[in-house]
Structures are given as C-alpha cells and as structure tokens.
Structure 1
C-alpha cells in the first residue's frame, strides 16, 4: 500500500500542552498493513499524549513517528501454516524475550496490532501480569477460526474494531469493543481521480490498464506472481493495447522483476516500488491477492479479480476452518460475490484472464459495483486515529 501518502494525511499537530506527563505504550505490528495501522494510531496517541514513549516491534511507518523498534516487523511477516513452521522457533523466541522485558518494565498499555497468532498469546500473558492490553483489528472470527473469540476474551481488555458488524459479536461474548472505522476509508478519496493517477504514473490517459498485485509477503509473491504474470500475457494477447502496473514492496521488487521476465517474457510491465494506491486509482481492473489490498481496491471503487494460492498443507488446514463462502474483504463486507474469487487450484491463468476481460465487457456491472463500493466507503469512514486514541484514554481512565 502507498504508506507515505497515508502517513502524510494522518499526521496532525498535537492538541495537548508539552507539560503532558505522557504515556508509555508497547506495540507490536507484524507486516506492512499492520505497520500502517500502528502508525496512524500513533498519530492519535501523540495528539493526546505529546510526550508519548512507544516501543516494541514495528516498521518504517512507526519509526517515522519516533517509535523505538526492538525488533523489525519484517521478522514476523510470515503467512501460512507451513511457512510459519519454518520460522517458528525464531518467532517464539522473539515473543518470549519481548514478554519478559515488558513484564519487567511494564508499559501503561500494550497494543497488539493485528498479527493475532503472535499478539494474542503475548497479550494474554501481559494481561495476567497486570498490563492493560488492547488489540487493534478484530481477528476474523466471523470468517474462520471462531474458537479464537475465547482467546480474545482472555487476552484483550479492549478490542478496536475496523468493521461495525464486529461490535455486537464481541459484546455477546463479554468483550469490550469500540468501532473506530477503517483508517483507509478516511485516507482514500471518496471520488478517485483516475486521470491524475495515470499522469503520476506516466500512463496514457486513455486505454485499458490492469493493476497486478501479487501480495507483499515473500510466500505470496512466489505463489501468485507466476500465475498473475502468465495471466497478464494472456490478457495482452487478447488486448494488445492493455498496460500493466505492478506495485511491489522494496524488499521484493527485484524478485518480482525476475518472475515477470520468466513468466511474461517480452511483455512490458511497469514494476513500481510502492505506489499501490496510485496503481489502484489509475487502473480499470485489479488482479489482486486476497488481503487488505482488496479493501483498498474497493475503496478506490475498482472492479477486481481476487486470487490466492498457498502451500497445499496450509490450504487444507485453512479451508477446514473457513466459516463463510468468501475470503475477499469486499465480498465479506457486501455479503455476496460482488467480485470473483479464485482460490488455490482455481487460480489458473486462463480463468483469471477471462474474469478480468469480463469486467471490460460489462460497463453496467462496473457502474453497479462502483455504487455499492461508494456506500461501503461511507460506512467505514471515521477519524480512526482520534477514535482509537480516545477509546484507549477511556480505558485507562486518563
């Protein structure tokens, strides 16, 4: 995601006087989306407590707010059961070290930002040790692994929710919760400017553009980028004028380029470092990995084709724990298949290409989708940093 643009819009001048005694907060964010959310939360906390001291595990967006990272968020950015197993000992060691340090030097509050498999056990231990705990972003207990709601109740004194339907579910289980809106809905414009975005990316104002987003984690890139690039090659055969933009996190840009040359030889793909928001705003259709980026695409009112592929063992475990027929956030939030999803063996280039082309051939369907996504945007729009900071202030009684 285009974190610099989000971060710039989230920053405001502190309201409290410099004599404010401050607040000590420990935080853990484990991937780029969590780092972004944590950075925005820090904006709100710093407005309430200008003398804020924040430590723990974080990424660049947290660092730029003065966060003291004891470990980098990159150490936790692992997805899938098989992938986690390969890094299990290192991750558990980091958590144990962090837990000991926070229990010996307890902060005023601990905030776990997403990453529930790492954060919930840590929160549970800290809460038992007398530390006030907050979990930011409710785990998807409404979609899969429903048993985690009991763990959440034992771990968090407060859950900050980004979707309104989560509040009654948590309250039924005795969990204190506050809806704070989704920060992306505040940052992304209600009326995207496709022409301006294309000019920023030096793309033709007219002509078909597809944004290709194979994910931000290494495992996602390795599993999805080959499929997505073969899909792009098929699309270029069907529509030679089609242009492709491929946002990539800096750590994986070189690898994404290698995969593009291997699986779409001769095809010109604009591989960008960051700029995912520009790519989504500029495109006609997004070919996209399931995850937070699908919500970003929905907020930019763009039709999309969602796909996901992972290690087969991870998929078999995940599939058995799914509670809903959808995995893409736009479909979950709308309660129907408003955009197509292709998972695991279904994620074949020919099927993906056909689904992308269908969007170009159905303008009335695109218009209806844009209207539904506009309604969704209004539902999710709140001043998330301020709402979240105020909820924590109430929890602490300060």
Structure 2
C-alpha cells in the first residue's frame, strides 16, 4: 500500500487511517510520503510530508520544480515491480495527489482519495480531475457523497477522524494542570499555522494583536503551540512584540492548548475544525501573497472560508481575511468573545451538535471502503 500525506493535518489524518488499516490487515506494508505520526505507525516515509507543505499559487511556483520532481520520482518508484502497491491512497494535498493518482490509475493501480477536495467551496473545475483520478473518495463531511454521486464519482462518508480523537467533553482542568496554568487564568491560544508561509504572513500580526490585548488586560495569558521547525522563528517574533512572560510557546501540544484556552486566534485551516470540536470560540484569520489572494478570491463559491462557518452554514465565528486581518481588528474580535459569555455558551452548544454529526467509526468505514476497492 502507498500513501501520500502533505503537511501536519494530512499526517494526522493518515496516521488515524493507518490505525484502521492495520487493524484490518496486520501485515500491512505502507510507503510513500508522510510525517511523524505515520512513521510512528511503521510507515516508510521516502520523503517527509513537509516537502509538500506549501500553500498559495505564488508560493507553489517557487517550489514547483522540486515538488514536480518528487511526484515524478515517486510515480516511477511505485510503478516498479518490486514497489507496485495494491492501492494508492492520496490523503488531502489534492494539487499533488490527484495528478499522481491519475498517472497511477492509468497504469492499473487502484486509487483512493481521502478528503474530498472542497469543490463545494471553490475551484469546482476540479470535479473532472477527481473523476479521472480516483476510483473512490473517502469523505469527511456528510453532504459530500451525494454531491460526488451526481457527478458519477463513487464516494463514502466516513466521518471526520478528529471527531473520534477529540472527546465530546474535553477535560479543561487536566489540560490546564498539564500546561501549568491556573484554573482562574484567562488564556488566549494563538495558532498562526503549521506552514512557514503561514507564519510569515500571520505570525507577527497575531503577536501584535496579543500585545494590544495584553495592554488592555494585563492578566491575560497567551499560549502558542509550535511546530518544532518553526519554534525559533515564532520566538523571535514574540520577543519583537515585547510580550515577555505573558506569552509561552510550547512544542506541539495543540490539542492540550485548545482544551485549556478560553478563546483562540487561529489561522484558517484544519485547526479551526479542531478548535470547534474542542468547543472553543475563535477568531479565524488568513493573510497570504496578494496575487495568490486575488486568484483564490475569484474562485470562491461561498461567503465563508473557515470550516466551522462552512459546516454551520453561517458566520458563527468572525473571519478576518487579508487586509481585514489587522492587529487591532484581531485583538478587538478576540476580546469580544471574552465579554460575551452567553454568546460563548450558545456557540459551544452548536459545536457540540456538529461534533455528533462528524463522529463516526472512521477507521472501520474507511477500511471497509478500501477493501471494496481492492476487491474490484
């Protein structure tokens, strides 16, 4: 079996998927591109998932030759007799995986794509590429299989793996004890993203917003879960903003931080869904290369960007995008949650209902679907 997972969120999803696959096939051998969570489960990573952790049209262009070279080398290696997989599973990363899946499928390799590309949000032209590339799509949102079926694409709703990993009632007290936080402290979690490009465009904005909040409310504590490779960069930004002991950067532990916090200032992406499953109010922000933003904005199909808003079909949390993501606006919207306990409680109830909708036996359902693909 071969898998490709790009960036931190894909590594997390693929790791959870591997648990289900190994339960079904204990002698499973899995190779390809992956991260630490996959390697912990015996995955043979020929390249690290960080190689694919690039977002935005202009940013991708800067790394285009390297990424295309990796895809070509991986395709050629998988098509040798010794390495030919029974099935290839592309985990998210559609710009990389769909073309690879199409090439492998054309050579008779069965292909599965895990996480339906968000054709319902933007870039609907991808539907033809999905049809050409994937024998089956594993969907993490309940409305997606019907949408794909209308286009003649086989798909199965497997729930979102994170909905099973994250408890319905997170233990806030235990998380605070683990992180050395007092029960009565007011904690703001700051998550500027797991990619270098995200930190480049959002890190300083988020820390400047934290500095503004701290001036108004000196008792606030700020926690930042950092990808190890980006920790030094984030520490430098924090020092420049003069936050001192009010802000602490911890390596990893994003789930503990989201459990412990009162509110989070967070980059748009999978982490926003994690925050929703932890029932935490949030302010979603994003900023990127201006040309990439213009291109992406023209392809949007919905008014929302953040997953919690998309899934709730409403602006249940604020979104501050591109030029709107100023430190002052970020600070103002984050503090507004702390001043509205009734609104926070209503949001948490809505997120609990969402959690139940997404909670399925993902590992078993995914293994069932993959088994049917293997049976032809």
Following superposition, which runs of at least 4 residues in structure 1 exceed 6 angstroms of deviation? none
Within 5 Å, which residues of 2 pair with 1:256-267? 256-266=234-244
1:65 is matched with: 41
SS, match of residue 212 in structure 1? strand
1:368 is matched with: 346
Give the root-mean-square deviation of aligned CA atoms: 1.0
More displaced, 258-267 or 216-225?
258-267
Q: For 1:328, which of 289, 306, 310 is the aligned residue?
A: 306
Is contact 2:220–2:246 with CA below 8 Å preserved after alignment? no
Instruction: Deviation per CA, 1:290-311: give whole Å up to 9, x if none.
Output: 0000000000001000000001
CA distance in 2: counterparts of 1:72 and 1:304, whole angstroms: 31
CA distance in 2: counterparts of 1:72 and 1:194, whole angstroms: 33
1:175 is matched with: 153
2:103 is matched with: 125
Q: Please list every run of 5 or more consecutive structure 1 residues that lacks an aligned counterpart in the other structure.
A: 1-24
How far did residue 262 of structure 1 move? 1.0
Confirm whether residue 152 of structure 1 aligns to residue 130 of structure 2. yes
Instruction: Deviation per CA, 1:278-326: give whole Å up to 9, x if none.
Output: 1111111000000000000000001000000001111111111111010
Within 5 Å, which residues of 2 pair with 1:161-172? 161-172=139-150
2:167 is matched with: 189
Q: For 2:29, which of 53, 74, 90 is the aligned residue?
A: 53
Q: TM-score, normalised by structure 1?
A: 0.93
1:99 is matched with: 75
Within 5 Å, which residues of 2 pair with 1:1-398? 25-105=1-81, 106-266=84-244, 268-397=246-375
1:17 is matched with: none
SS, match of residue 177 in structure 2? helix
How far did residue 197 of structure 1 move? 1.0
Instruction: Deviation per CA, 1:137-157: give whole Å up to 9, x if none.
Output: 000100010110110011000
SS, match of residue 330 in structure 1? helix
Q: Please list every run of 5 or more consecutive structure 2 residues that lacks an aligned counterpart in the other structure.
A: none
Q: TM-score, normalised by structure 2?
A: 0.98
CA distance in 2: counterparts of 1:241 and 1:197, whole angstroms: 19
